[in-house]
Homo-oligomer: A and B are copies of this chain.
Amino acid sequence: MKEIKVKAPATVANLVCGFDILGMALNEPFDEMTLKLTDIPGLIIQHTDEFNLPEEPEKNVSGAALLALMEEYEKPLGFHLTIHKNIKPGSGLGSSAASSAGAVVAANRLLGNIFSKEDLVRFAMNGEKIAGGVKHADNVSPCIYGGVTLIRSIFPLDIIPLNAPSLFITIVHPQIEVRTSDSRQILRKEVQLKNAIKQWGNIGGLITGFMKNDFDLIGRSMEDVIIEPVRSILIPGFDEVKSKCKEAGSIGGGISGSGPSVFMLSKDESTAKKLEKIMKEIYERIGVNYKTYVTSINTEGVKIIQEKEV
């Protein structure tokens, strides 16, 4: 039987102004998963990490994604999946997306790449529904496609890969829990037209910045007048991290996904490391546990790292 091992990357959804439509894959952190095609129809899932996630396929994020794929496959299939997560659930770094995307990319490879990337996003969105109650694609798309992706529309699904600039990303994950479903619920259902106009100006600027590799335009477009003012209240130290990192040379940044992680972009690695030091100082002082990453944009998405006959 064939066995495959993959790396599934963390992702930053929203990219500040692009709520539900933009996402970016990171080189770190990432999950590791091993998927084996077996003779016994059905799905067995095993976690080797510390996160105490449910292993019943219907309740497991990877499981829900794989079951969607298996349903669309003509014949009965048997899979054995072993997951080692490094991306902490609830971090705002696309932990559930990595689980969903990694599983379906691995399965597709074992089946001879019969499904398109768009199909895989569609399957993986079932995992997102288990995790956050909503089928959204702004983490699973960059996780599968790599780079920066635009979700023009979910129904029908329309994913547009953008240019991925050579930026460095510094992330701090304050170890507090913000549930995606909670952070959705605190949002107002209506927005003022004048704020919506500001937001779409910034989205336009951000996308043009990516396409033109114009880092300053990316920076000044990373402004969110609708979601961030509400969600940032849930994140201790947010305003200080953002303002001090900008003073220290960051081009911009904000909440990663629904938080609590915060990401800041830099043009070079030395600035990115300087930002990490600033973030550490802030959370040491506040007295909140944290984890930091200095990384860059992952342009490949889920990556096959081993493939063998067993």
Contacts and interface: CB of A to CB of B under 8 A. Distances in A.
Interface stretch (A72-80, A150-158, A287-295): A150-158
A20 interface: yes
Contact of A197 (B20, B193, B205, B211): B20
A192 interface: yes
Contact of A203 (B158, B203, B220): B203
A34 to B, nearest CB: 35
Given A208-B160, A211-B208, A18 B200 contact: yes
Nearest to A20: B197
A252 to B, nearest CB: 13
Contacts of A187: 193
Interface residues of A, number: 38
**How many of these chains are in the complex?**
2
A211 B150 CA distance: 14
A111 interface: no
Interface string A158-176: 1010100000000000000
B150 A205 contact: yes
A202 interface: yes
Contacts of A220: 152, 158
A160 B205 CA distance: 8
A53 to B, nearest CB: 29
Given A160-B217, A208-B160, A211-B211, A153 B191 contact: no
A204 interface: yes
Interface of A: 18-22, 150-153, 158, 160, 162, 187-194, 196-205, 207-208, 211-212, 217, 220-221, 226
29 contacts: A19-B197, A20-B197, A20-B201, A21-B197, A21-B200, A150-B204, A150-B205, A150-B208, A152-B201, A152-B202, A152-B204, A152-B205, A158-B220, A160-B205, A160-B208, A160-B217, A162-B208, A188-B193, A189-B194, A190-B190, A191-B196, A193-B226, A196-B226, A200-B203, A203-B203, A203-B204, A204-B207, A207-B211, A211-B212
The 9 closest A-B pairs by CB, nearest first: A152-B205, A211-B211, A190-B190, A152-B201, A150-B204, A196-B196, A21-B201, A200-B203, A20-B197
